[in-house]
Amino acid sequence: MKKLTAFRTLAGQTAEGFLAGLLISLGGAVFLACILPDQPYAKYIGALLFSMALLVICMRGYALYTGKIGLIYEAHKKEDISLLLLCLLGNVLATAAFGYLIGWVFPNLKAAALGLCNGKLEQGFGFGLLRAVLCGVLVYLSVDIYRNNGKNVLGIVFCIPAFILSGYEHSIADMFYFACAGVATWQSFVYILMILIGNSLGGLLIPTLRLIRPKEKGHGVEKKADAVPCTAEKTAETEETKENQTL
């Protein structure tokens, strides 16, 4: 029974990653359609529509590696790391499958993806790594704002188009673009691996800085001191209410 439960957990996390990869693929396809040569200003619409992929991922709780890596400090047991890797596996499988499929069905999108991928490989690995780190920071911020501010979508709506229009590199989206373009070389594999590392470093940057940030002394004491009068007031109000009800 335990083995069956463990298998369902592993399969479920991979499936959640696959669904997230599917949404990234759909968002990437829309973006490719918006950067065709005859639509020079449509890329702004494409960047906004791409953000809908992450919005749905957050709302449905799907597992996107670049969104989860920054949360590893909150849960970093062996099982959590295993689930993160399974999430990445699902992302890879989905972007590879749907990237190839979309490139086969839509030749114009394949041509757009090919031009995009050639530009990525020509920019150099150092520039790509820096762009990946900056992308990781923005993706972390978008997820963090959503999780810790009452599911506020503003972080997603602004941060995701910001990294796309800035030319920053997102590893899972790049997997889709390279698969759609039909580019499968050692150079492309190494490039995507480097982007994945950069996204991870960027996603961990802010949480790491938060860990070394000095804590404010006396802050908790003040809160406790303030809590006593509030409790006393509530008790007095409750007793008064009961007395009024009795009367």
Return d(Cα 6, Cα 78) in angstroms, integer: 14
Are 176 and 25 in contact, with CB atoms under 8 Å apart? yes
pLDDT for the residue numbered 2: 59
In this structure, which amino acid lies at residue 5? Answer: T
Are 201 and 133 in contact, with CB atoms under 8 Å apart? yes
pLDDT digits (tens, 9 = 90+) for 11-50: 888 999 999 999 999 999 999 999 876 666 788 899 999 9
Residue 230: pLDDT over 90: no
Q: Following DSSP, what letter does each residue of 39-85 receive, concatenated? A: -TTTHHHHHHHHHHHHHHHHHHT---HHHHGGGTTTS-SHHHHHHHH
pLDDT digits (tens, 9 = 90+) for 169-210: 999 999 999 999 999 999 999 999 999 999 999 999 999 998
pLDDT for the residue numbered 154: 93
For residue 147, name the pLDDT band (cuts at 50, 70, 90).
Answer: very high
CATH topology (fold) of 2-212: Glycerol uptake facilitator protein (1.20.1080)
pLDDT for the residue numbered 8: 75
Dihedral angle at the C-alpha atoms of 138, 139, 142, 147, nearest 10 degrees?
A: -140
Domain boundaries, the chain: 2-212
pLDDT for the residue numbered 185: 93
pTM for the model = 0.82
Question: To the nearest whole number, what is the mean pLDDT of the chain?
Answer: 85
pLDDT for the residue numbered 217: 60
Return d(Cα 97, Cα 26) in angstroms, integer: 12
